[in-house]
């Protein structure tokens, strides 16, 4: 799990991987759709869905090969015969639900970081992956391929293998800026929308509250406050495991 094995089919230009994307927010509009379109010799976006009809329509315009008529609400890329891989870019709390359904349908799965907000949901994904044969899930965390992180991994591995012991402390200084600085120069012209149904907004609120209670109070044994909730949400999107 978390690193799908390479296969001849996946790397051969004669086999185009059909991708269904769940969630048409900023990540999908700015990163996934443009990059997958630019790698048309390897990937083809065949399915898009989102709880926001406006976000879906906006994203469909960026994917001319997809039929411009949105699928019915009951449809899912997990059950589509035109999808090999399901890319999950929804709210974090719904990652496990979509990943489990996709794995049960025999699809490969790429999940935007973080995998989930709770160990409970993470274990559910691991179990679903194992039941599907294993090596079908990949967590989309780009920093594992960044040159600086690759160098860190090499340094840590050489230190341990060399018998010098484990590294207990590392200090990193990273200068970056607001995402808007990069997005505004990307030429992707993303849109933000708020035409959500009340039922969907309520489902998000309830699942988020449940996950925060599960993660902080049940799994970590710390009080649930606005501060701990904020810290947990921020750290969960930045976590990096060597």
How would you write 157-206 as a 3-class SS string? Answer: HHHHHCCCCCCCCCCCCCCCCCHHHHHCCCCCCCCCCCCCCHHHHHHHHH
The rounded distance, in Å, linking the Cα atoms of 159 and 129 is 33
For residue 113, pLDDT over 50 is answered with yes
The residues facing 42 across adjacent strands are: none
pLDDT range class, residue 241, cuts 50, 70, 90: very low
Asked, for residue 152, whether it belongs to a domain, the answer is yes
How much is the pLDDT for 169?
A: 80
How much is the pLDDT for 79?
A: 86
The residues facing 110 across adjacent strands are: 87, 138
Asked, for residue 154, whether it belongs to a domain, the answer is yes
The rounded distance, in Å, linking the Cα atoms of 64 and 99 is 26
pLDDT range class, residue 72, cuts 50, 70, 90: low
Asked, for residue 216, whether it belongs to a domain, the answer is no
Tell me which residue range forms the domain holding 34: 1-195
The rounded distance, in Å, linking the Cα atoms of 208 and 109 is 22
The rounded distance, in Å, linking the Cα atoms of 206 and 142 is 30
The rounded distance, in Å, linking the Cα atoms of 25 and 48 is 11
**Residue among 97, 89, 70, 69 at smallest CA distance from 26:** 89
| Six-digit token string for 196 | 């959500």
Asked, for residue 108, whether it belongs to a domain, the answer is yes
For residues 29-39, average pLDDT: 94
Tens digit of pLDDT for each residue in 129-142?
Answer: 999 999 999 998 87
What is the residue-averaged pLDDT of the chain? 86
| Six-digit token string for 78 | 């997990």
For residues 80-105, average pLDDT: 95
Total structural domains within the chain: 1
For residue 239, pLDDT over 60 is answered with no
For residue 70, pLDDT over 80 is answered with no
What CATH number is given to the structural domain containing 112?
Answer: 3.40.50.720
Q: CB atoms < 10 A from the CB of 67, how many? A: 10
pLDDT > 90 in the chain, percent: 60
Asked, for residue 161, whether it belongs to a domain, the answer is yes
Tens digit of pLDDT for each residue in 170-226?
Answer: 777 777 777 788 888 888 899 999 999 999 999 999 999 999 999 999 999 999 999
For residues 104-123, average pLDDT: 96
Asked, for residue 140, whether it belongs to a domain, the answer is yes
Asked, for residue 94, whether it belongs to a domain, the answer is yes
Q: CB atoms < 10 A from the CB of 134, how many? A: 12
Contact 60, 25 (CB under 8 A): no
How much is the pLDDT for 103?
A: 97
Contact 195, 52 (CB under 8 A): yes
Asked, for residue 211, whether it belongs to a domain, the answer is no
The rounded distance, in Å, linking the Cα atoms of 66 and 109 is 20
How much is the pLDDT for 185?
A: 87
| Six-digit token string for 89 | 């870019």
């Amino acid at each position: 799990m978390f690193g799908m094995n390479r296969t001849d089919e996946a790397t051969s230009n004669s086999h185009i991987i059909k991708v269904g994307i769940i969630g048409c927010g900023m990540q999908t509009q700015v990163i996934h759709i443009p990059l997958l379109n630019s790698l048309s010799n390897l990937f083809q976006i065949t399915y898009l869905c989102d709880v926001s009809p406006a976000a879906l329509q906006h994203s469909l315009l960026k994917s001319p090969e997809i039929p411009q008529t949105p699928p019915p609400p009951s449809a899912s890329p997990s059950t589509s015969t035109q999808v090999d891989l399901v890319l999950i870019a929804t709210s974090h709390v719904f990652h496990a639900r979509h990943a489990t359904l996709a794995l049960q349908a025999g699809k490969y799965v790429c999940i935007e970081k973080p995998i989930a907000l709770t160990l409970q949901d993470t274990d559910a994904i691991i179990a679903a992956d194992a039941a599907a044969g294993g090596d079908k899930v990949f967590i989309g965390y780009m920093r594992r391929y960044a040159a600086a992180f690759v160098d860190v991994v090499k340094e840590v591995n050489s230190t341990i293998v060399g018998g010098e012991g484990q590294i207990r402390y590392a200090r990193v200084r990273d200068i970056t800026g607001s995402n808007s600085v990069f997005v505004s120069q990307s030429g992707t012209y993303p849109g933000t929308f708020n035409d959500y149904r009340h039922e969907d907004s309520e489902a998000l609120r309830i699942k988020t509250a449940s996950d925060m209670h599960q993660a902080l109070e049940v799994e970590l044994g710390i009080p649930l406050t606005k501060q701990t909730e904020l810290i947990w949400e921020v750290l969960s999107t930045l976590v990096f495991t060597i």
